[in-house]
Every structure is written in structure tokens, then in C-alpha cells.
Amino acid sequence: MRRPAQHHSIPAIHSAWAHPYTGVPALGVFYNDGGNPPAPAQVPTPAEVAARTAPPAAPQVPQTPVDPDDAKVTFTQRRLNTIMRDEKEEGRRAALRAIAESAGLDPDQIDLDQVGKLVKEAGEANRQRMTEVERREADTQAAADAAAQQVADAEQKAATAQALAFEAQQQMALIRLGANPDDLADVTALLRNDLQGIDQPTEEQIREKAEALKARRPADFGGTIPQTLPPAPGGAPAGGPPPRTPAGGKDAIKAAAEARARSMGLRTDNAA
């Protein structure tokens, strides 16, 4: 029979450091106790805290090479005026050289200022000559405009006279048909409206339209308008409500009741 495993064959050590672990189990116990505690975390300085809370810096964009012609240069107003004056003078002299070359002259052997003076004098003479021509053209145009205005005025006067003649002709036709003098202007306007669309109406056309107007509006020509009664309300006759019969006494009421009873078969003539 095997002896119990809890009984060790080695002699027991009765001391404060005695433990039941020996050999390999003892290594697993005494070398897995956690070791040394970790070092405490370092507290950040205020500068490090500010650097953490600051917004991230924008990435640096590589600068594109600048063209020397596009470089910005600062000038004073006096310097700018001088440059502009020199440029203007250079342009003027270049134009004078071009004029001299076009005239067959050598620009290096003549005075360009004298050429400019000659060009200026020629321009003034041409301007005076052109002004005289323009004055003549303006006079001709004014005469043509005046003639056109006279023709337009004459046409307007002729149209007005023709309109007055047509209006007088229309009024005469209306007066012959018996138009009221007080309403003559209104009736003439109605007749003129009826004649619209007819270019230069003849006397016969005016008479026909006037007769049609008289038939349509006889009151304007001294006629009478037939009285037409409005429709009676509720189915009553147009002449008014039916005449009411005078109410009788007790005898009339009795007679009406007897007649109604006879019509319903409730009473005969033999009944007492």
C-alpha cells in the first residue's frame, strides 16, 4: 500500500520561513509575485499642456516660383508721373518716325518736332475744311427736314378737313332722319363707331348706317320706346295680381263650404 503523498520524506523545518513549496513549485511561487511597482507617470508642464490644446499648425505650402516680370515694385507718385511722361514722349516720337518713313523721309536726318508741327497744321486745315462741309450738309439736312415737316402738316390739315367733312355729312344724314338736336353729338359718335372699318364711306353707306341706328335707338330720333312689363314673380300674370273678390259675410262662407262638400261627394242637393 502506498503511503500518503502529504507525508514528505524530508525532515520538516520548524521556523518562520518554513513553507510547503520546494523544488520547481517553489520557483513558480517566489518569482511571480509581481516584481517592482511601475514608475509614476510624469506630470506635464504648463508649456506642454498649452502645446497640446493649441490648434494644429497649417501645413506649409511650397511657394511657387515668382516670375521676375510679375514681381511687385513700389513707386512714388512723382516717379510714376515721370515714367508715364517718358512713355508718352517715346510713343509720340515713334509715331512721328512712322509718318516720316511713310512720306519717304529719313527720320534720323530730319527734325521730328518739325514733322509734328506740319502734321498738326495739316490736321487743323483739314478740320476747318471738314467743318465747312459739315455746315453745308447741316443746311441741306435742315432744308430737307423743313420740307418734310411742311408736307406732313399739309397732310394733317387735309386729313382734318376730310374728317370734318365726313362728320358734317353724318350729322346732315341724322338730322334728315329726325335726330334730337340735344343728342346730336352722342348720336354722331355712335354713327362714327358704326362706320369704322369703311375707308371714305359714301353718302349711301352713311344713310344706311343712320337708318339702322334709328331702328336700334328710336328714342334718339324722337320716337317712343314700347313699354315692356317685367315678368311677374311667382307665376302671377304680368298685369299684376288678380283682383281680390270682396269678402262676404257668413252666408258667403256657408255657400262656399256647401259647394266644397258637394264637390267632395259629402253632400247632395236633396240633403236637408
| Tens-digit pLDDT profile for residues 59-96 | 666 666 656 666 666 668 888 888 888 888 888 888 87
Number of residues that this document lists for the chain: 272
Residues 6+ away with beta carbon under 8 Å from 75? 83
Provide the grid cell at 90: 517715346
For residue range 157-173, list pLDDT tens digits in order. 888 888 888 788 888 88
Q: How confident is the model at residue 13 (pLDDT cuts 50, 70, 90)?
A: low
Domain presence at residue 231: no
146 & 84 share domain: yes
Residues 181-208: pLDDT tens digits?
887 888 888 888 888 877 778 888 888 8
**What pLDDT score was predicted for residue 202?**
84
Residue ranges of E strands in the chain? none
46 occurs within a structural domain: no
Do 134 and 177 have their domain in common?
A: no
For the ranges 11-25, 69-83, 133-147, the one whose mean pLDDT is highest? 133-147
236 in a domain, yes or no? no
For residue 254, being part of any structural domain is answered with no
Q: In the block, which residue shows the cell 478740320?
A: 127
Buried b (16+ CB within 10 A) or exposed e, 122-155: eeeeeeeeeeeeeeeeeeeeeeeeeeeeeeeeee
Check whether residue 147 and residue 180 sit in a common domain: no
Domain identity same for 168 and 134 = no
**Residue type (1 letter), 270:** N
Q: Are residues 83 and 147 in the same domain?
A: yes
Q: What is the pLDDT of residue 148?
A: 92
Task: Give residue 97's domain range.
Answer: 75-151
Q: How many domains does the chain have?
A: 2
Q: Is residue 207 part of a domain?
A: yes
Of 159, 162, 183, which is closest to residue 171 (Cα–Cα)? 183
Whether the predicted pLDDT of 139 surpasses 60:
yes
Q: Are residues 136 and 159 in the same domain?
A: no
Please report, to the nearest 10 degrees, the dihedral formed by the alpha carbons of residues 82, 85, 86, 88 taken in order. Answer: 160
Question: In angstroms, rounded to a whole number, what is the distance separating the alpha carbons of residues 161 and 164?
Answer: 5
Q: Is residue 58 part of a domain?
A: no
- Same structural domain, 137 and 171: no
Place of cell 358734317: 168
Residue 25 belongs to a domain: no
SS3 (DSSP) at 146: helix
pTM equals 0.32
Please state, in angstroms and rounded to a whole number, the distance separating the CA atoms of residues 90 and 98.
12
Q: Which of 25-29, 113-117, 200-204 has the highest mean pLDDT?
A: 200-204
- Interaxial angle between packed helices 203-216 and 184-194, expressed in degrees from 0 to 180 and rounded to the nearest 10: 120
Same domain for 126 and 167? Answer: no
Is 6 among the domain residues?
no
Asked which of 128, 151, 174 is the last residue of a domain, the reply is 151
pLDDT digits (tens, 9 = 90+) for 225-249: 555 656 555 555 555 555 565 555 6
C-alpha cell belonging to residue 80: 510714376
